[in-house]
Each structure stands twice: as structure tokens, then as C-alpha cells.
Amino acid sequence: MNPADNGSAGADKALGPLPDNHPPVRIGKIGVLLVNLGTPDGTDTASVRRYLREFLSDPRVIELNKLIWNPILYGAVLTTRPPKTAANYKKIWNTERDESPLRTITRGQAQKLASVFANEPRIRVEWGMRYGNPSIRSAVDRLIAEGCDRILSVPLYPQFSATTTATANDQLYRALMKIRHMPTVRSTPPYHDEPAYIDALAASIERHLASLDFEPEIVLASYHGIPKAYFEKGDPYHCHCLKTSRLLRERLGWSEDRLMTTFQSRFGAQEWLQPYTDRTVEKLAADGVKRIAIVNPGFSADCIETLEEIDGEVREIFIHAGGEKFAHIPCLNDSEEGMAVIENLVRRELGGWL
């Protein structure tokens, strides 16, 4: 993907003389692999069902025993949920490219990062999705074909959770298990408390709020939720989210009443991390709050959970309950601030390799 490509001849010399008739060897490059959650290939029910089947079959996402979960998944869930989810994807679909916004944005992040390293011929940048296409395996194959014998994996999740970062790493190593000449691999750590990330969030929030024709009384930092039981078993995600909110609040100079933390996107009947975003905005409106804004610090790119759930469903809940003004603050995406965070993280974690 990088604009600069000096070929592999220089890297091949590192091997020394090769025997006659030895197949060509490409080594010496360093791959940077951006990874995000994933997306269906289309808005038709079959594509969404295929995506949900892969996503909800991941044992890190749904920890129920397969003997219990599979009948539910292949029964009620994959029968009733795909049509509704497909309809929601249609509301936000990038019709020009015929793909989801998450795929468009992640590609943009990879292209811009490749441009940053255009003068570093050893670096190759690729992107892949944990669920759906382009797969992590296909991205690894492309990097190896380019001569990458070292790969830096960059899961684009600021806060660590076994349901996100860990399963992305799982999938990467599943791909490597099938490769005889396995490259050396690193994975970037969570960046929930990185100064560059907090500064980027603050700058984005301040810029967006300045563009509004109203001043929000309260701003909600809404994170994707996880089941409470996962947190109780040791998942650090909740702590990472609260730390992000605290640091962001300190950076902006706001009180706890000005920037609240909530959790969205719960699934199933079990208790998830609270307070819930939808119930919080409903209560705020009922209590007389008329103007709010919501930011999603747990997402590196806008997707169905931010564009349809927050800017669609949650907006409707707030207005229906008596609210008057609502704003959704975009994710960092491939903005200047967002790319500065990714570049900062990548450059640091490439230490010793360049």
C-alpha cells in the first residue's frame, strides 16, 4: 500500500549468496497492520447474517457454553436479528463506495499512515478486519508477499477488552499458525491514557462544540458496553474507560457533572456495564435537560454503533423524552488529530525495528 517501493533486491542481499535455483526470497520489510472490528459486505440480510454468525460465534464475545449458545445463535438470533441489523446498516451505508463507513474510514487511516511513511522504504501498511472483509489473514498474506518478516499489529481499540483487542490478536495468531515462515509480531498496547490520544479527543470536542448553534448542558462520553460478568472476571475495560473520561475531563477543565460516562450497545438479557446511555439520556430529558452532546471515545472510527445507534436511536430517545438539542461528536476517524494518535503509537512501538 505504500507509495514508495524500492523492491526487495536490497533486502535479499541480507541473506547472502543463495544456492542455484533457490526460489526468490523477499525479506527485510516491516509491516504495520491496522485492525478494526469488522463489517458486513452488504446491507442484504444474507451478508449481515454471515457477519453476525462470525462475530457472535467468537467465544471471547459470547462466553456461554457452545451447547447452550449455539441453539440460541442459530435459532432465534440469526433468524430475527439480521433483517433489523441490515435495515440499520442501510441508514448509514456509504452508497458511493457500496460499503460501510467503518470500512471506508479504516482504509483512509491506512492510506494516510502509508503516506506518512512514504520516505521509509522498509515500511508497508495494510489493514484488516477481525470479522468480515478484508480479513486479517488476507492482510498478513499481502504483507508477507511484500517481504515483511516483522509485523506490528495495531488494534484500533483505545481501551483494552478481551472482547475486542484480545480477539483481534487471537485472529492474527490463527493466521500465523498456517504460515511456515512465520514473521516476528508485535501488538501495540491500549492507548486509553496516552497524552496524544487525550489531547486529540479534547481538540476534536472543542472544535465540534464551537461549531454548534447551541451550548450543551451535559456531554456524555458513551463507550461500547460489555457484560458486567466479564468485568468481574478481570477484564480491565471498565477501568480503562473511566480513566479516559477522567483524563479527558481534566484536560478540558470540566466537572463530573459536565462530562458523564455511560455505556451503550448492550445485547441479551444479562446485566451490562452501567449507566446505560439510552436510559441516561431519557432520564436527563425527563429531569429538564434540554441540550446534550455525545462523544464516543471508545471508537477509533465512526460505525453503526455511533452513526445509527447514537446519532439515530439515542437522539430520538432524547428528543421524544423532552430534549430539544442533540449533537453527536464524530470519532477521530482519519482526521488530522486521529492520524496523529495512530502515527505516535506506531512510531513508538516500531522502536528497535527501524
pLDDT of 13 > 70? The answer is no
pLDDT of residue 117: 97
Q: What is the pLDDT of residues 309-321, one digit of tens each?
A: 999 999 999 999 9
pTM of the model: 0.91
Cell of 238: 471498565
Q: Tell me the residue type at 86.
A: A
Separation of alpha carbons 69 and 329, rounded Å: 36
What rounded mean pLDDT belongs to the chain? 94
SS3 string of the chain?
CCCCCCCCHHHHHHHCCCCCCCCCCCCCEEEEEEEEEEECCCCCHHHHHHHHHHHHCCCCCCCCCHHHHHHHHHHHHHHHHHHHHHHHHHHHCECCCCECHHHHHHHHHHHHHHHHCCCCCCEEEEEEEEEECCEHHHHHHHHHHCCEEEEEEEECCCCCCHHHHHHHHHHHHHHHCCCCCCCEEEECCCCCCCHHHHHHHHHHHHHHHHHCCCCCCEEEEEEECCEHHHHHCCCCHHHHHHHHHHHHHHHHCCCCCCEEEEEECCCCCCCECCCEHHHHHHHHHHCCCCEEEEECCCCCCCCHHHHHHHHHHHHHHHHHCCCCEEEEECCCCCCHHHHHHHHHHHHHHCCCCC
The third-level CATH classification (topology) of the domain covering 195-329 is Rossmann fold (3.40.50)
What residue segments make up the domains of the chain, in order of their start?
9-190+337-349, 195-329
Separation of alpha carbons 58 and 52, rounded Å: 10
Would you say 145 and 26 are in contact if contact means Cβ atoms under 8 Å apart?
Answer: yes
Q: Please give the class, per CATH, of domain 9-190+337-349.
A: alpha beta
pLDDT of 11 > 60? The answer is no
Determine the average pLDDT of the residues in 150-177. 97
pLDDT of 5 > 80? The answer is no
Same fold for the domain at 9-190+337-349 and the one at 195-329?
yes
pLDDT of residue 136: 98
Looking up cell 445507534, which residue turns up?
309
Of 346, 302, 309, which is closest to residue 36 (Cα–Cα)? 302
